[in-house]
Amino acid sequence: MESIVSSIGLARELDEYIVFIDPSKCMGCRSCEIACAIEHSRSRDLFKAIREKPRPMPRIYVVSTDSLSSMPMKCLHCRDAPCISVCPSRALYRSLEGYVLVEPTRCIGCLMCMIACPFGNLKYSIETRAIIKCDSCYERVRRGELPACVEACPTGALRYGRLRDILEDLGRERARQIMAGVYTGMQQLQSLRWQGVVGSRGQ
């Protein structure tokens, strides 16, 4: 019985829609940050947003892991979200889609959610005196649009879709990479044989 329940739970998780992050494709351009800030501005316009008070802030941010790589960071909308559990004013709640959202008017600025978040993805706005976090652009999603960060990403480092479909796509990509590597390796070995560097058995 427990295995059946687990299988049902896994199936539901696979059918959930997520924003998948592929760090290997991120070039640190911060287009996602700009698009997010504009989407959460009052005007939804780049040139007007930069003059707004309080200044619109992105809910996603790019961090540099070393001199050559970077990675977008955003709320993961955890199934058992610790931020919701510790919030004393119930400012954090879950939407019908399963996204963890914040009601700014209820936020008392205690920062308990920031402490509880294992990924450090919640930020505090001094200007609004409330927590800000990714809401997965739920209004856009309800209109059938992509989250702003995903739409703005030029390299495909951010991808939105059903988890099951994303995992299948990743499997196909990895298979192509493996086969390409095998083919390249065979070509290099054959070239060495022609040059007499290795024997016919690769010795």
Specify the pTM. 0.78
**Looking at the 3D structure of the chain, how many domains does it have?**
1
- Model confidence pLDDT, tens digit, residues 164-200: 999 899 888 888 877 776 666 666 666 656 665 555 4
3-class DSSP state for residue 153? coil
User: Element (H or E) spanning 15, and its range?
Assistant: none
Backbone angles phi, psi at 62, to 5 degrees: -100, 130
94 lies in some domain: yes
Q: Is the peptide bond before 54 cis (omega within 30 degrees of 0)?
A: yes
Q: What is the pLDDT of residue 31?
A: 97
Handedness of CA 110, 115, 117, 119 (dihedral sign): positive
pLDDT digits (tens, 9 = 90+) for 57-116: 999 999 987 767 899 999 999 989 999 999 999 999 999 888 999 999 999 999 999 999
Average pLDDT, the chain: 85
Specify if 42 maps to a domain.
Answer: yes
Classify residue 13: in a domain, yes or no.
no
- Is 199 contained in some domain? no
Residue 26 belongs to domain spanning = 19-194
Q: Quote the Cα angle for 52-56-58, to 5°.
A: 165
Residue 10 lies in a domain: no
Report whether pLDDT(6) > 60: no
CATH number of the CATH domain containing 94: 3.30.70.20
Taking the CA atoms of 165, 78, 153 and 68 in sequence, report the sign of the dihedral they define.
negative
Q: For the CA atoms of the chain, what is the radius of gyration?
A: 22
Map tokens 């997965």 to a residue. 136
Residue 38 lies in a domain: yes
3 falls within a domain:
no
Q: Within a domain: residue 130? A: yes
